[in-house]
Amino acid sequence: MTAVFNKPFTLQEPIEETGIAKALEILKSGKLHRYNTAPGETGEAALLEEEFAAYMGKKYCLSCASCGSAMYIALKAAGVAPGDKVLCNAYTLAPVPGAIQNCGARIELVEIVEDYTIDLDDLDAKAKGAQWLLLSHMRGHITDMDRIMEICTAHDITLIEDCAHTMGAAWDGQKSGSFGIAGCYSTQTYKHMNSGEGGLLVTDDDELMARAIIYSGSYMLYERHTARPPMAVFEKIKMAVPNYSSRMDNLRAAILRPQLRRLDDQCRRWNQRYDFLAKGLGKIPGIFVPERNPKEKYVGSSIQFSLTDQPPEIIQAFLTTCLDRGVELKWFGSTEPIGFTSAYGSWQYFKDLPVLPNTDRILAVMCDMRIPLTFDLDDCDLILNIIKDTASQILKL
């Protein structure tokens, strides 16, 4: 069989009509800036914050220009100071080390294990002398959060979560992003809600949120936020926090609000596709799909698998052959960083990056595929067949 798959892997669903109608209304009014509101009026950005805080069961939420800016602001607002050591799993995306560097902090990279999550033993070993953990649930893989909390408590480490791929996900019934002092989310086009660019930060901490709001660029207009701590909290700090100008605007918030109402349903749709693909891929000789922990409620908006023991030239041939038939896979093991994939060796703005043999070995054979909701189960079936054909043709078993 030589059928070719011809749908793009980067095509998301359209913005729904209610979002478009609201966006048009805002465009016609010219009132795009979040603080461009009449007295007593609550703008779209503030409403989105209220609704996302409620969805997360958190007291406060701040919308930002991106998840990267939300993480940077969360780290600063939590108290990360220049020179501090921030632990972080080595398998993550470039905006994560970027947020740490932006704070002037040092990064301590932690190994990963076969299921792509952080190596908890390596974390425990490196925890001494660290005050902070920026845990990235990279590609939606959630580690054992019970052990994370044990390690953080034992070493007095403050946890901040990067939930760019775990919006809507949970561990043992508790929402991802609600374990740490702050959780950060992305609304960039390829994440779980789409406003082109955008970020959300949630916390229950009064001072953290007051600082975060001012850092984000509220000027002295923070009273117009409605998912915020009492005004007295701002009074104490309002002259002590700089403005990093990283706000979200009303236009983006307006198209996100209807998406939030559908988020859980979208997550269910992702998992139909993910579970179908994971089951099929797992049966292909030479392909390893790690089991998910039963406590993990993941959102399968992308899928990762390993071509265990295959040499680089075979993996390259496998990827090229899949691509010839329209199946676009990313490879975390390529020597040059390509597209969005990012290996920790590329972050050379940090001095003395370590060598992490286990992470290197795992990334060397790891493939990655987006699962846009514009694909249906028939599409997934064709993709599986193409990968299966290619594997039997190319892989050395």
Ligand X SMILES: *Cc1c(COP(=O)(O)O)cnc(C)c1O
Interface residues with ligand X (CB under 6 A) are 66-68, 92-93, 95-96, 136, 138, 162, 164-165, 186, 188, 199
Detail the DSSP E strand segments found in 264-383. Answer: 296-297, 302-306, 330-331, 366-370
Neighbours of 227 (CB within 10 A): 22
Min CB(122)–ligand X separation in Å: 19
Nearer to ligand X, 199 or 300 (CB): 199
SS3 340: coil
Min CB(366)–ligand X separation in Å: 14
Nearer to ligand X, 153 or 245 (CB): 245
- Give every CB contact of residue 160 below 8 A, 6+ residues apart in sequence: 71, 74, 75, 78, 132, 133, 134, 135, 180, 181, 182, 183, 184
* Among 249, 162, 152, residue whose Cα is nearest residue 197: 249
The CA distance from 177 to 202, in Å, is 8
Min CB(296)–ligand X separation in Å: 16
Nearer to ligand X, 117 or 136 (CB): 136
User: Which 8-state DSSP code applies to residue 364?
Assistant: T
Min CB(1)–ligand X separation in Å: 34
Nearer to ligand X, 215 or 234 (CB): 215
Nearer to ligand X, 329 or 394 (CB): 329
* Among 337, 290, 285, residue whose Cα is nearest residue 112: 290
Nearer to ligand X, 178 or 390 (CB): 178
Min CB(21)–ligand X separation in Å: 25
Min CB(94)–ligand X separation in Å: 8
Which amino acid, residue 387?
I
- Cβ proximity of 142 and 113 under 8 Å: no
